[in-house]
Amino acid sequence: MLQKSTKIITTVSDRRCGVDFIRSLFEAGMNVVRMNSAHLGEEGITSIVRNCREVSPRIGIMIDTKGPEIRTTTNEDPEGKLAFREGMLVQFSGNTTGRTSLRIINLNYPDIARDVRQGQHILIDDGELDFEILSVDSDSGLIAARCLNDGELGSRKSVNIPGSDIRLPALTDRDRATLAVAARLGVDFVAHSFVRSADDIHAVQAELDALGSDMKIIAKIENQQGVDNFDSILEASYGIMVARGDLGIEVPAARIPVIQHEMISKCIATHHPVIVATQMLHSMITNPRPTRAEISDIASAVYQRADCLMLSGETANGRYPVEAVRTMAGVACEVERSLTATTTADNIPQLADAHVTSFLARQAVVSEREIGTKAIIANALHGRTARFIASFRGSCPVYAICYRRRTMRWLSISYGIKAYYYKDYYTCAQRYPLDALRDFIDQGLLTPDDRIAVLGALNGTGATFLEINAVQAILDNAR
C-alpha cells in the first residue's frame, strides 16, 4: 500500500463485495468502505461488514442514511421512462401512493405544497429535468409547473428544490432500521444525508444513544440550509462530508469550489475530519484512464488538505474500481510530496483554540522542521490527541497507539494517522508505548537513534505532556 497521508473511502455494493475484491481495494490504498443504505438491505450490509473484517480489522466502515430526501414515486410503467419536452405543463402532488405520469408527478412528501412557492425550481434526477413553479394551490396540494428542458424521467428519482425549507423529519423509519443493523454489526461511522441544521445531528445522536452505539456521525453537507448552518452542524458532528453532487444542484455551481475550500479550512481549524466526495473519477466508471480535469480535482482537494477523498460509482459499479483507487492514491502521493517540499514551521497551521492538547500537538509537528523529529507517537484512548495532531498536517509519520480496534478505525479518516492496536495496553501509569517502539524498530519504521516526539497523558484525558527524545533513550529511561 502507498504511504499516503490523505485517506480514501470507497463505496461498495453487496453485488460486488467479496473478500478478494475488498482486499484488492485495500492493497491499492483504500482506508474506509462506505455502504449506501438506499441500495442495501440487512443481508447486504451484513455481507459487506463481515468481508471487510476478514480482510483487515483496520478498515473503517461507514454507512449512509437516506435522511430527509424527496423522490418521485414509481412511474405508471415502473420499468419505463417518461419523455418530457420543453414547455410542457405538469402538476406536482404529494400523493405518496400515486403513480407518476406525464400529467402529474407524485412525490414521497405529502406536504410539498406547504414548503414551496411560485417562481422556485423543482430539479429532478440530479438536475436532469428542470421545472419552474407557476402556482401553488394549498387547498388541493397541487403545484402547477412548466418543464424547462427536454429529458426522460425514470421511477423514484431524486428531487431538489433550491431555496426551499423542507420540513421532513431528520430520520425516516428506514433510517432507524438501518442504524439498528449498523449498531449491531459494529459499523464505525454513519454519514447522515441532507443535514439542514445541528438538530438533525442531535436526532441521529439520540437514536444512536438509544441503541447503545458509539458510531461517529459524519454530516453530509448537500443543500443550502447545510451551508447556511455549517458552523453549528460542524460543532455537533464528528466530521463533515462535502457532498458535491446534490450540493451542486442546490447552490450555483461556481460557488462549489469556494464552499469546499471554506469547509475544509474550518474543519482543520476545529480538528474535525473532512471528506470531499462525488464524481472525483467519474469517467473511470467506464474508462480505464481519468480525465485531466479529474486529476486536477483530486489534486486540488489534496492541496486544500482534506482528510479524505471518496469514490462512489467508480468502485460500487464501475468497470475499473481498483485502478480508480490506485489513480487517486498516486495523485495524493505526488501532491503530498510537493507539499512536504515546501512546508516550513511558519506555514504549519496556527492554533485556533486554547486547548493544551492542541498546543502540544502543534509543537510536535513543528519539531520535525525545527529539530529533525522522525515520527510522532500518540496514545489513543478515543483518538482525540491523534486528531489534533492530524489537523496540523505535518509530513512525518504519526503513529497512534490504540488499545481498542474501534479507535483504530475511527482514525481511518484522519489525515496522516497510522493507527496500531495493542490489546490492553492503555493505563495511566504506562505513559510510553514501549512495546510499540520495539515493534517499530523491528519493522524498520524507526531506528534506535531516531529522535521522536511522544504525546501522552498523566491523567488519561487528552495530551498533557510532550517528550522529544531518541527512541533508545526512551526505552532505556523506562527500565
Where do the domains of the chain lie? 7-66+170-339, 70-160, 346-477
On whether the CB atoms of residues 100 and 90 are closer than 8 A, the answer is: no
Catalytic residues: 34, 71, 220, 278
pLDDT at residue 428, as a whole number: 44
pLDDT at residue 345, as a whole number: 66
- Tell me the CATH number for domain 346-477: 3.40.1380.20
pLDDT at residue 21, as a whole number: 98
Q: Could you tell me the three cell numbers for 158?
A: 431524486
CATH number for 7-66+170-339 (one of 3.40.50.300, 3.40.50.720, 3.20.20.60, 3.20.10.10): it is 3.20.20.60
pLDDT at residue 429, as a whole number: 44
User: Please, what's the b/e burial string for 52-82 (b: 16 or more CB within 10 A of its CB; e: otherwise)?
Assistant: bbebeebbbbbbbbbbbbbbbbbbeeeeeeb
On whether the CB atoms of residues 151 and 128 are closer than 8 A, the answer is: yes
Topology adopted by domain 70-160: M1 Pyruvate Kinase; Domain 3 (2.40.33)
User: Please, what's the b/e burial string for 138-167 (b: 16 or more CB within 10 A of its CB; e: otherwise)?
Assistant: eeebbbbbebbeebebbbebbbbbeebebe
User: Please, what's the b/e burial string for 302-321 (b: 16 or more CB within 10 A of its CB; e: otherwise)?
Assistant: bebbbbbbbbbbbbbebebb
pLDDT at residue 342, as a whole number: 73
Nearest partner of 74 among 91, 96, 41, judged by Cα: 96
pLDDT at residue 2, as a whole number: 58
pLDDT in tens, the chain (479 residues): 558 999 999 999 999 999 999 999 999 999 999 999 877 899 999 999 999 999 999 999 999 998 888 999 999 998 899 999 999 999 999 999 999 999 999 999 999 999 999 999 999 998 899 999 999 998 999 999 999 999 999 999 989 999 888 889 999 999 999 999 999 999 999 999 999 999 999 999 999 999 999 999 999 999 999 999 999 999 999 999 999 988 999 898 899 999 999 999 999 999 999 999 999 999 999 999 999 999 999 999 999 999 999 999 999 999 999 999 999 999 999 999 998 877 666 677 777 788 899 999 999 999 998 999 999 999 888 899 999 999 999 989 999 999 899 999 999 999 999 999 987 655 544 567 888 999 999 999 999 999 999 998 776 567 888 999 999 999 988 76
